[in-house]
Amino acid sequence: MSTVVPAVPEPAARAAQSPFARIASDFVANPVAVFGLVLLALIVAAAVFAPLISPQNPYDLAQLDVMDSKLPPGSKSPNGGTFWLGTDDQGRDMLSAIFYGLRISLMVGAASTVLALLVGLTMGLTAAYLGGRIETLIMRIVDIQLSFPAILIALILIAVLGQGTGKVIAALVTIQWAYYARTVRSAALVEKRKEYMEAARCLALSPARIVFRHLLPNCLPPMIVVATVQVAAAIALEATLSFLGLGLPITEPSLGLLIANGYQYLLSGKYWISFFPGVALLATIVSINLVADQLRDVLNPRLSR
Amino acid sequence: MRPVPVPRRLAAAIAIAASVALGVALTAPASAQELKIAVAADVTSIDPHFFNLFPNNNIAEHIFDKLVQMDADSRMIPGVATSWKTLDDRTWEFKLRRGVKFHDGSELTAEDVAFSINRVPTVPNSPGPFSAYTKAIVGIDIVDPYTIRFRTAAPHPLMPNDMSTIYIVSKKVATGAPTEDFNSGKAAVGSGRYKFVRYVNGDRVEIVRNDAYWGEKPPFARVTFRIIKNEPARMAALLSGDVDAIEQPPTADLARLKSDPKFTLTSKISHRVIYFNFDHLDRSSPFVTGKDGKPLEKNPLTDVRVRRAISKAINRPAIAERVMEGQAIPSGQLVSEKLFGHNPALKAEAYDPEGAKKLLAEAGYPNGFNLTIHGPAGRYVNDEKIVQAVAQMLARVGITAKVETAPMGPYSGRASKQEFSFHMVGWGASTGEASSPLRSLLATFNRDKGLGAVNWGRYSNTRVDYLIEQALQQVNDENRMIMLQRATELAMADLGIMPIHFQFTMWATKKNVAYTPRTDEYTLAFQFRPVRQ
Residue-wise pLDDT tens digits, A274-296: 999 999 999 999 999 999 888 88
The shortest CB-CB distance from A163 to any of B2, B394, B402 is to B2
> Three-state secondary structure along chain A?
CCCCCCCCCCCCCCCCCCHHHHHHHHHCCCHHHHHHHHHHHHHHHHHHCHHHHCCCCCCCHHHCCHHHCCCCCCEECCCCCEECCCECCCCCEHHHHHHHHHHHHHHHHHHHHHHHHHHHHHHHHHHHHHCHHHHHHHHHHHHHHHHCCHHHHHHHHHHHHCCCHHHHHHHHHHHHHHHHHHHHHHHHHHHHCCHHHHHHHHCCCCHHHHHHHHHHHHHHHHHHHHHHHHHHHHHHHHHHHHHCCCCCCCCCCCHHHHHHHHHCCHHHCCCHHHHHHHHHHHHHHHHHHHHHHHHHHHHCCCCCC
Confidence at residue B30, expressed as pLDDT on a 0 to 100 scale: 42
- pLDDT band (50, 70, 90) for residue B2: very low
Across the range A162-172, mean pLDDT stands at 88
Tell me whether A62 touches chain B (CB under 8 Å). Answer: yes
Q: How far is A245 from chain B (nearest CA, A)?
A: 7
Q: Give the separation between CA A140 and CA B519, rounded to whole angstroms.
A: 61
Residue A102: closest CA among A157, A39, A156: A39
Residue B156: closest CA among B475, B407, B466: B475
CA quadruple B340, B341, B345, B351: dihedral, nearest 10: -90
Q: By the 8 A CB rule, do B173 and B150 touch? A: no
Whether A108 is covered by a domain: the verdict is: yes
Say whether pTM exceeds 0.90.
no
Q: By the 8 A CB rule, do B237 and B21 touch? A: no
Q: Under 8 Å CB-to-CB from A12, ≥6 apart: which residues?
A: A19, A301
Q: Does the distance separating the beta carbons of B231 and A264 come in below 8 Å?
A: yes
**Percent of chain A whose pLDDT exceeds 70:** 92
How does the average pLDDT of chain B come out, rounded? 90
Whether A243 is covered by a domain: the verdict is: yes
Widest Cα–Cα separation across chain A: 77
Q: Give the separation between CA A189 and CA B192, rounded to whole angstroms.
A: 77
Whether A236 is covered by a domain: the verdict is: yes
In degrees and rounded to multiples of 5, residue B194 shows phi and psi of -125, 155
Q: Give the separation between CA B200 and CA B178, rounded to whole angstroms.
A: 18
Residues forming beta bridges with residue B244, ordered by sequence position = none
Chain A residues with CB-CB distance to B402 below 8 A: 249, 251
- B4, B383, B386: best to mutate for the A interface, most A CBs within 10 A: B4
Q: Give per-residue pLDDT as tens, B262-307.
A: 999 999 999 899 999 999 999 999 999 999 999 999 999 999 999 9
Compute the Cα dihedral for B242, B246, B249, B255 and give only its sign: positive
Which 8-state DSSP code applies to residue B122? G
- For residue A17, pLDDT over 80 is answered with no
- For residue A19, pLDDT over 90 is answered with no
Q: Does the distance separating the beta carbons of B2 and A90 come in below 8 Å?
A: no
Chain B residues with CB-CB distance to A267 below 8 A: 232, 235, 239, 252-253, 256
- Buried b / exposed e over B179-196, threshold 16 CB at 10 Å, is bebbbeeebbbbbbbbbb
Length of chain A: 305
In degrees and rounded to multiples of 5, residue B170 shows phi and psi of -80, 125
- For residue B233, pLDDT over 50 is answered with yes
Burial (CB count <10 Å: 0-12, 13-18, 19+), residue A287:
buried
Q: Which of residues A81 and A107 earns the better pLDDT score?
A: A107
E strand or H helix at B471, and its extent? Answer: helix B462-473
Q: Does the distance separating the beta carbons of A66 and B393 come in below 8 Å?
A: yes
Tell me whether A17 touches chain B (CB under 8 Å). Answer: no
Across the range B49-72, mean pLDDT stands at 93
Chain B residues with CB-CB distance to A160 below 8 A: 1
Whether A10 is covered by a domain: the verdict is: no
Q: By the 8 A CB rule, do B257 and B327 touch? A: no
Start-to-end C-alpha separation, chain B: 56
Confidence at residue B185, expressed as pLDDT on a 0 to 100 scale: 93
Residues of B with CB under 8 A from a CB of A: 1-2, 4-5, 7-10, 231-232, 235, 239, 250, 252-256, 315, 318-319, 322-323, 377, 384-385, 388-389, 391-396, 400-405
Q: Does the distance separating the beta carbons of B232 and A268 come in below 8 Å?
A: no
Residue A191: closest CA among A176, A161, A213: A213
- For residue B423, pLDDT over 90 is answered with yes
Q: Give per-residue pLDDT as tens, B439-475.
A: 999 999 988 777 888 999 999 999 999 999 999 888 8
Chain A residue with CA closest to B385: the answer is: A90
Q: How far is A4 from chain B (nearest CA, A)?
A: 55
Whether A33 is covered by a domain: the verdict is: yes
Q: Give the separation between CA A254 and CA B46, rounded to whole angstroms.
A: 43
What is the C-alpha R_g of chain A? 23
Q: Give per-residue pLDDT as tens, B77-87.
A: 999 999 999 99
Q: How far is A154 from chain B (nearest CA, A)?
A: 12
Confidence at residue A264, expressed as pLDDT on a 0 to 100 scale: 80
Chain B residue with CA closest to A243: the answer is: B9
Q: By the 8 A CB rule, do B244 and B510 touch? A: yes
Tell me whether A155 touches chain B (CB under 8 Å). Answer: yes
Q: Give the separation between CA B42 and CA B204, rounded to whole angstroms.
A: 9
Residue B526: closest CA among B72, B49, B161, B185: B72
- CATH number of the structural domain spanning residue A118: 1.10.3720.10
- For residue B246, pLDDT over 70 is answered with yes
Across the range A23-51, mean pLDDT stands at 92
Confidence at residue B231, expressed as pLDDT on a 0 to 100 scale: 85
Confidence at residue B94, expressed as pLDDT on a 0 to 100 scale: 97
The shortest CB-CB distance from A268 to any of B2, B255, B394 is to B255
Which 8-state DSSP code applies to residue B295? B
- For residue B159, pLDDT over 90 is answered with yes
Q: Does the distance separating the beta carbons of B404 and A267 come in below 8 Å?
A: no
Number of domains in chain A: 1
Confidence at residue A303, expressed as pLDDT on a 0 to 100 scale: 57
Q: Residues of A numbered 18-57 whose beta carbons fall under 8 angstroms of chain B's beta carbons: which are they?
A: none
Domains in chain B with CATH codes: 44-181 (3.90.76.10), 270-504 (3.10.105.10)
Q: Under 8 Å CB-to-CB from A86, ≥6 apart: which residues?
A: A70, A71, A72, A73, A74, A75, A94, A270, A272, A273, A276
Confidence at residue A209, expressed as pLDDT on a 0 to 100 scale: 87
Q: Provide the residue range defining the domain that includes A233.
A: 26-303
Confidence at residue A295, expressed as pLDDT on a 0 to 100 scale: 87
Q: How far is B240 from chain A (nearest CA, A)?
A: 13
Laid out side by side, the sheet with B147-152 consists of: B81-88, B91-96, B147-152, B137-144
Q: How far is B530 from chain A (nearest CA, A)?
A: 27
Whether A18 is covered by a domain: the verdict is: no
Confidence at residue A13, expressed as pLDDT on a 0 to 100 scale: 47
Q: Give per-residue pLDDT as tens, B166-179.
A: 999 999 999 999 99
- For residue B4, pLDDT over 90 is answered with no
Across the range A36-55, mean pLDDT stands at 94
Most confident of A297-301, B123-127, B499-503: B499-503
B289 to A208, B303, B399: CA distances (angstroms): 50, 15, 10
Chain A residues with CB-CB distance to B367 below 8 A: none
The shortest CB-CB distance from A265 to any of B7, B252, B391 is to B252
How does the average pLDDT of chain A come out, rounded? 87
- For residue A161, pLDDT over 90 is answered with no
**Percent of chain B whose pLDDT exceeds 70:** 94
- For residue A305, pLDDT over 70 is answered with no
Confidence at residue B26, expressed as pLDDT on a 0 to 100 scale: 43
Q: By the 8 A CB rule, do A192 and A128 touch? A: yes
Q: By the 8 A CB rule, do B222 and B33 touch? A: yes
Tell me whether A153 touches chain B (CB under 8 Å). Answer: no
Confidence at residue B14, expressed as pLDDT on a 0 to 100 scale: 53
Chain B residues with CB-CB distance to A243 below 8 A: 9
Q: Does the distance separating the beta carbons of A163 and B9 come in below 8 Å?
A: no
Widest Cα–Cα separation across chain B: 73
Tell me whether A250 touches chain B (CB under 8 Å). Answer: yes
Q: Does the distance separating the beta carbons of B391 and A61 come in below 8 Å?
A: yes
The shortest CB-CB distance from A66 to any of B239, B253, B323 is to B323
Q: Give per-residue pLDDT as tens, B462-521.
A: 999 999 999 988 888 899 999 999 999 999 999 999 999 999 999 999 999 999 999 889
> C-alpha angle A73/A77/A81, rounded to 5°?
95
- For residue A177, pLDDT over 80 is answered with yes
Residue B442: closest CA among B504, B512, B492, B514: B492
Q: Does the distance separating the beta carbons of A245 and B7 come in below 8 Å?
A: yes
Q: Under 8 Å CB-to-CB from B300, ≥6 apart: which residues?
A: B285, B288, B306, B363, B365, B369
The shortest CB-CB distance from B9 to any of A69, A163, A263 is to A263
- For residue A240, pLDDT over 50 is answered with yes
Residue B220: closest CA among B530, B531, B533, B532: B530
Across the range A187-212, mean pLDDT stands at 88
Start-to-end C-alpha separation, chain A: 43
Q: Give the separation between CA B59 and CA A215, rounded to whole angstroms.
A: 70
Q: By the 8 A CB rule, do B344 and B434 touch? A: no
- pLDDT band (50, 70, 90) for residue B427: very high
- Buried b / exposed e over B481-497, threshold 16 CB at 10 Å, is bbbbbbbbbbbbebbbb
* Angle at which helices A165-192 and A132-147 cross, to 10°: 130
- For residue A208, pLDDT over 50 is answered with yes
Q: Which of residues B355 and B259 earns the better pLDDT score?
A: B355
Whether A114 is covered by a domain: the verdict is: yes
**Percent of chain B whose pLDDT exceeds 90:** 75
Q: Which of residues A120 and A252 earns the better pLDDT score?
A: A120
Tell me whether A265 touches chain B (CB under 8 Å). Answer: yes
Q: How far is B416 from chain A (nearest CA, A)?
A: 22
Most confident of B3-12, B169-178, B225-234, B372-381: B169-178
Across the range A32-56, mean pLDDT stands at 94
Q: How far is A188 from chain B (nearest CA, A)?
A: 40
Chain A residues with CB-CB distance to B393 below 8 A: 66
Tell me whether A195 touches chain B (CB under 8 Å). Answer: no
- For residue A243, pLDDT over 50 is answered with yes
The shortest CB-CB distance from A250 to any of B10, B256, B405 is to B405
Total CB pairs under 8 A between chain A and B: 95
Which region among A126-140, B10-24, B90-104, B113-127 has the lowest average model confidence (pLDDT)?
A: B10-24
Whether A2 is covered by a domain: the verdict is: no
Q: How far is A148 from chain B (nearest CA, A)?
A: 18
